[in-house]
Chain A
């Protein structure tokens, strides 16, 4: 942990995340729905509709298909929050990524547990999507390790210590990784063309896929965990911008918002594709953008040393 970060700052940032992330996430969801509606020529629901929905879910009759799935969904929320806390505490990116995987896997297991055809196919597709995006996410971590002086810590990326290579601008040295990450972000946000495992609408071929067997409170918990998730996913986008100056921090926040709007647009501009397309395209993008970007960095380091 570098000396620019003190324990007080960590506590504030983690507490802020735990308290405010659901509001930010819910608002983002509201904006998304509003904008989607406008793109489709509709008026759309009020901005706070996602919150109304969750409150309504919480008041539904408590039913479930078995005694196990609530536990798994609860664990999913718990580890999603833990993941975000790790991120906002400035800990290792790999720790964040691996904990996120654990959280997502709890959701998959919850769906498997129901032994319902729709939920299980959704769960299998979710696993496939995880396999599709995971390489790009790990490549992102490796990329930052390179340009931030051999550290995976989020704190070292956001508050670079003094040194030759540590204040390199992410977006400048990792443009390929940035583009690749934007691509898989569509999968992570569950947007078309990659909303294979579940969608916000019950009219797809798998009904509601992964979430078919969840109802009431369980569904509300899942929604909230998505809000938590979306906030730190945008945090990943933000990582490409800090270089120690205040201006770049503002740029970072603006880009995060722009990226979110872009994902909304992509969602509305595309039809759902087959799973083969998700896997092929995600891996090809990871290879062409992520791997190539890293290889260029490798050779640059060997030939010139970085930061020259």
Chain B
């Protein structure tokens, strides 16, 4: 249990140190040292619990009571902070939500909560090991990257006050809270960490304090507080009606024939808001105003992953139930509409954001299906998505600082200007949608799992959504691969810490794709077997993807990495200019126009606004998901399901 406390408290300590440190060099040292320690600790946690598969921990009563009160006090303080900020920026809805939540929690804790005995407050299982590795390795890599990035960021606006201590404080606090989420079994503790991540993201999004940043940060906090309210109601119901305060026990009561639809739907709702599912996807899109490391962190290893983590935890209680249908349909519609919307975007960060929303939708839909194969797909998606998306965000961040734009249209010829960065980006993009890389394997598994779920709609959502996915990644990939004449190489200006993080992430992406049959067998499959202990193990493993196909995929990854190393760019052919109807000027950039005028040509991509316009897709998606949520809650409140 010591290691769990360490993983929660050490990042917190690092955060506080970073808040006090002003000197660049000391900050660099602290961030790198803390990152190494956190990554090592998360690996050690996995290694130590690997054989046993995990354990639950009893926190002794006086300590537990102390922690409970401390959390309550902090929650009230934070609610006051939100209230004050809400009044200051005239966002009264945030004030209202914060106040209602705080009052409810205090009332519940003092009247009911403290009388309910909590046996196992903390736990480790294989899923939390996977999550800990993602947070501990990818999360810290992003923090290391942020060192160089924030230096440039500060450099670009010298007149602004240096608020980097606050920035790094938030990053490490975020990591601490994420560890709290994946290890807490006590629902009240879980909620506490849940709210900390909400607040961290609020401050990170609003970091630049521009009007847009403030507005977007409040949108994020309002939506997440709404989800938090769902969480509070779930706790109150679980505590007062069922007398349960532990997540595992809550899910176990179902097997004793007690209906837990109400808390499950409420918790799933909280998960949907945090995972930026429609109709709440706009907060994640708005989060892009923040410095890039924030986006990378929110999209890959923290925040949204907390949302899908919770829903995945609930998945044994989903499936063929009200909660299951709500989650499946919201996830499916989000996957489809967000994939469509991504086509119409030329801003690289927005493409990434929509792709995140879409992939989270797929994870959520799989968790909603709740069958072993679906949970396998969801877990693999979480892993691959975390590694790949963090790489892509950081690549775009570096490109933005060096070419001065995050628009995909400005990235043509990136291969000539920043060859290494372009290669990294190409690897990242390929890993998002191409066979034989990870995301595609998970999509394949998802499709297979969903076919047997008895929900045909979901099958079609996935089929059409993934066809469009191919289009928007393909056209970006093409832009990067284009070889444009006479481009100056400018990649020397990139910071060392940025290269270090990017390089490590690329290695992780490749390693994750080649070794996945191994960790699937060692970590993911045993986790699924433990979740479905009531079934015959052989029947569970039989429903998962063939080992044969996995090995074929892994071999293909190795080949596809090897091919360019052996053959790329080797030619002894004569290089000739491109065809420009005979009017080209042999520099491959311009042609002789009419009136003997030299004219440069430029090439643009397709965005198909009339088909996949962002606004239209959002309206359809938001309306459809709102209807589904409304029907679900109406059935719940009306007592049609128990």
Contact = CB atoms under 8 A, between A and B. Distances in A.
Q: Do A and B come from one complex?
A: yes
Given A108-B478, A294-B459, A130 B575 contact: no
A120 interface: yes
Given A108-B474, A130-B474, A98 B440 contact: yes
B116 interface: no
Interface of A: 1, 61-68, 70-72, 74-75, 78, 82, 86, 91-92, 94-95, 98-99, 101-102, 105, 108-109, 111-120, 123-124, 127-128, 130-131, 134-135, 138-139, 142, 145-146, 150, 152, 207, 212-213, 279, 283, 291, 294-295, 298, 302
12 contacts: A65-B577, A67-B571, A75-B563, A91-B548, A99-B436, A102-B435, A108-B474, A130-B474, A131-B467, A145-B451, A207-B579, A294-B459
Nearest to A75: B563
Given A115-B412, A152-B448, A65 B576 contact: yes
A92 B467 contact: no
A138 B556 CA distance: 21
B444 A94 contact: yes
A148 B580 CA distance: 52
Given A115-B483, A135-B464, A127 B475 contact: yes
Task: Name the residue in B466, B478, B549, B552 with the highest tally of chain A Cβ atoms < 10 Å from its Cβ.
Answer: B478
A128 B601 CA distance: 23
Contacts of A291: 460
Contact of B463 (A113, A128, A138): A138
The A interface is mostly helix, strand or loop, or mixed, namely: helix
Interface string B483-520: 11100000000000000000000000000000000000
A117 B580 contact: yes
Contact of A134 (B444, B470, B603): B470
Contact of A115 (B470, B471, B548, B578): B578
A91 B412 contact: no
Interface string B450-487: 01101010011001101110110011011101111100
B603 A115 contact: yes
A139 B463 contact: yes
Interface residues of B, number: 62
B471 A112 contact: no
A91 B552 contact: yes
Contacts of A142: 447, 451, 459, 463
B115 interface: no
B582 to A, nearest CB: 11
Interface in B529-565: 546, 548-549, 552-553, 556, 560, 563-564
Contacts of B578: 65, 114-116, 119, 213
Contact of A114 (B479, B483, B560, B571): B483
Contacts of B88: none
B413 interface: yes
A90 to B, nearest CB: 11
A109 B549 contact: no
B563 A78 contact: yes
B434 interface: yes
B481 A113 contact: yes
A131 B470 contact: yes
Contacts of B560: 102
A71 B568 contact: yes
Given A71-B564, A71-B568, A134-B467, A115 B475 contact: no
B478 A123 contact: yes
Contacts of B475: 124, 127
B478 to A, nearest CB: 3
B435 A91 contact: no
Contact of A95 (B452, B552, B569, B576): B552
A113 B482 contact: yes
A72 B451 CA distance: 35
A61 B588 CA distance: 21
B435 A68 contact: no
B112 interface: no
Given A102-B434, A102-B435, A109-B477, A70 B466 contact: no
B145 to A, nearest CB: 28
B597 interface: no
Contact of A213 (B474, B485, B579): B579
Contact of B569 (A68, A146, A207): A68
A102 B548 contact: no
A130 B433 CA distance: 14
Interface in B260-313: none
B575 A128 contact: no
Interface in B166-204: none
B579 A212 contact: yes
Contacts of B571: 64, 67, 70
B606 interface: yes
A101 B447 contact: no
Contacts of A62: 572-574
A181 to B, nearest CB: 14
B589 to A, nearest CB: 9
Contacts of B29: none
A114 B485 CA distance: 10
Contacts of A128: 471, 606
9 smallest A-B Cβ distances: which pairs?
A112-B478, A98-B435, A134-B467, A116-B578, A131-B471, A62-B573, A115-B482, A64-B573, A67-B569
A194 B193 CA distance: 55
A111 B474 CA distance: 12
Contact of A120 (B546, B588, B603): B603
Contacts of B474: 105, 108, 127, 130
A120 B477 CA distance: 12
Nearest to B443: A98
A71 B426 CA distance: 15
A138 B467 contact: yes
Contacts of B471: 127-128, 130-131
- Most B CB contacts (10 A, CB to CB) among A98, A111, A130, A212 go to A98
Nearest to A94: B444
Contacts of A112: 477-479, 481-482
Contacts of B479: 112
Contacts of A134: 463, 466-467, 470
Contacts of A95: 435, 444, 549, 552-553
Contacts of A108: 474, 478
Given A63-B573, A294-B459, A68 B470 contact: no
Nearest to A212: B579
Contacts of A123: 478
Contacts of B456: 294-295, 298
Contacts of A131: 467-468, 470-471
B605 interface: yes
A138 B603 contact: no
B484 A150 contact: no
